[in-house]
Amino acid sequence: MFFQQFKVEGLGCYSYLIGCPKEGVACVVDPERHVERYLDVAQENGLQITDVFDTHLHADHITGSRELAAQTGATIHVHPAVEAQYPHEPVCEGQRFRFGAAEIEIIETPGHTPNSVTLAVTDHARSDDVQALLTGDLLFVGDIGRPDLAGEDLLDQQVKNLYDSLYSKLSRFPDWTEVYPAHGEGSLCGKGMSSKPMTTLGFERRNNPLLNEMPFDEFHKLMTEGFQVRPDNFADMVEKNRKGPALLRETPAFTRLAAGQVEKASGNGAKLVDVRDQVAFGAAFLPGSINIGMRPNSVNWLGMVVDASSEIIVVADSEADAREAAFRFRRAGYDRLIGYLADGVSGWAMQGKQLDHLPQLTVDSLNHVLAKYSDHVVLDVRTDAEWQTGHIEVAVHTPISDLIHRGTDLPKQRHITTVCGSGYRSNIAGSFLKSLGYEQVFSLIGGMTAWNAARRTA
């Protein structure tokens, strides 16, 4: 049996190519939107991709199932509760598929979503025992799937489904059965996943408290609180994945835009997303820009700030950086990426066009400001849990998700310094405030990491 795992860094998505080189057939499970690497590996190993499986209706990334089907002629398989509006074959409990020596059995395991399935994988070239479970978003390494994404009205039923799937549906498999999830560290589909790419049922039963004979009442309490805020674009991705996402060849071309074209498009409502680092953005940026620095998980932050239906112009240090940002953003369904600013911010400045700035304060600078101006606002945008670990004494706490969704009552003439853990989120928050018309906004460079280090050395 051929078996290979693939990972999307930042989003923490895992997908799989499974097949039989002897028979020359294979399937892909939970593919991401950019499918070239599945095609390349299949070709290198003499495999034809004949089938594609999505273990559930994904909320955090655009599936590559339609993309693969268009390029290979493969049949797409999903649970009927997905209500997929594109050509597919539904799967049901106990259904089996053979790919030479490899066999896949469908196990219905609702809980993360009402339409989730687990795939039991057998390598008949070695044994008739099930070797591995592809658990989708049911069971992760050190965690389990969150049950709240289907909506508040379904939460209690989803928690019950999740418990039954974990404790009943998986009970027939022995401890040595391998577990390969659809997500790992970096994903928002759980609370605290490990960076390890696989585990075993026995290890999780012994060391994962959520699978270690936890009473249902305790399980229910844990599964109805404490989840990270869902980016707004999750709902958009669910609908796109249900309808069938556009093929990449159908999306608008991502082109080089002159300054005048950028001015016209932004005047008509296009969003400016600046992917440079905090310091470069702080020094000078196009008015109205939101700073989403290039990190592996940057698309999650984009999902919180920019509506997925918006036209987007990328501002970057280079064409290569702009195109890499567009590549990542398309994974999350941002298909209206109309182009990038030619010659970047320096080229814009050379034409004498207006620029804004977000001053980056050091710890010493912020201390001087606070000593001189008693009405200066320190706005801490970290999570509740981070705030509880310690904060600047005079700070006001507004988590960045609350700031973005509900704004702030602070007068627009107030001087504000945004603070987070390292400076990344504070720049997002600062640029967001600037886009709302706040003029005197600053960002603490290095965030609370720098603040705490300065206190230790004082």
Return the domain boundaries, the chain: 2-233, 251-276+287-341, 360-457
pLDDT at 296: 82
pLDDT at 127: 96
CA atoms of 28 and 378, how far apart (whole Å): 49
Query: Does domain 360-457 fall into CATH 3.40.250.10?
Result: yes
pLDDT at 154: 78
Whether 251-276+287-341 and 2-233 are alike in CATH topology: the answer is: no
Per the CB < 8 A criterion, the answer to whether 252 and 93 are in contact is no
Q: Report the topology of domain 251-276+287-341.
A: Oxidized Rhodanese; domain 1 (3.40.250)
Q: What is the pTM of this model?
A: 0.91
* CATH top-level class of 2-233: alpha beta
pLDDT at 414: 94
What is the greatest pairwise CA distance in the chain? Answer: 76
Using 70 as the pLDDT threshold, list the residues of the chain that sit under it. Answer: 150, 186-191, 193, 458
pLDDT at 253: 92
pLDDT at 279: 95
384-391 contact pairs (CB < 8 A, 24+): 386/421, 386/448, 390/448, 390/452, 391/448
pLDDT at 187: 65
Per the CB < 8 A criterion, the answer to whether 23 and 99 are in contact is yes
CA atoms of 311 and 147, how far apart (whole Å): 32
pLDDT at 231: 77
CA atoms within 13 A on the CB side of 186: 21
Chain centroid offset of residue 169 CA: 28
Instruction: Give Rg (Cα) of the chain.
Output: 24
pLDDT at 9: 82
